[in-house]
Amino acid sequence: MDISKVAQQAGVPASTLRFYEEKGLIASVGRRGLRRLFDAAVLERLSLIAIGRAAGFSLEEIGLMFSPDGQPRIDRQRLDAKADELDATIRRLQAMRDGLRHAAACPAPTHMECASFRRLLKAAASGAVRAPKARVVASAKIQG
State whether residue 65 is helix, strand or coil: coil
Residue 139 has pLDDT above 90, yes or no: no
- Which has the higher per-residue pLDDT, 142 or 52? 52
The whole-number pLDDT of residue 127 equals 77
Residue 142 has pLDDT above 70, yes or no: no
Domain ranges in the chain are: 3-63, 83-126
What are the tens digits of pLDDT across the range 36-50? 999 999 999 999 999
What are the tens digits of pLDDT across the range 3-30? 999 999 999 999 999 999 999 999 999 9
Residue from 121, 139, 102 nearest 19 by CA? 139
Residue 141 has pLDDT above 80, yes or no: no
Q: Which CATH number fits domain 3-63: 3.10.580.10, 1.20.1250.20, 3.40.50.360, 1.10.1660.10?
A: 1.10.1660.10
For the CA atoms of 132, 101, 91, 48, the dihedral, rounded to the nearest 10 degrees, stands at -60
Confidence of residue 115 (pLDDT cuts 50, 70, 90): confident
What are the tens digits of pLDDT across the range 62-108? 999 988 887 888 899 999 999 999 999 999 899 888 888 888 888 98
CA 119 distance to own-chain centroid:
31
Q: Please measure the distance between the N-terminal and C-terminal CA atoms of the chain and give it in whole angstroms.
A: 20
pTM of this prediction exceeds 0.75: no
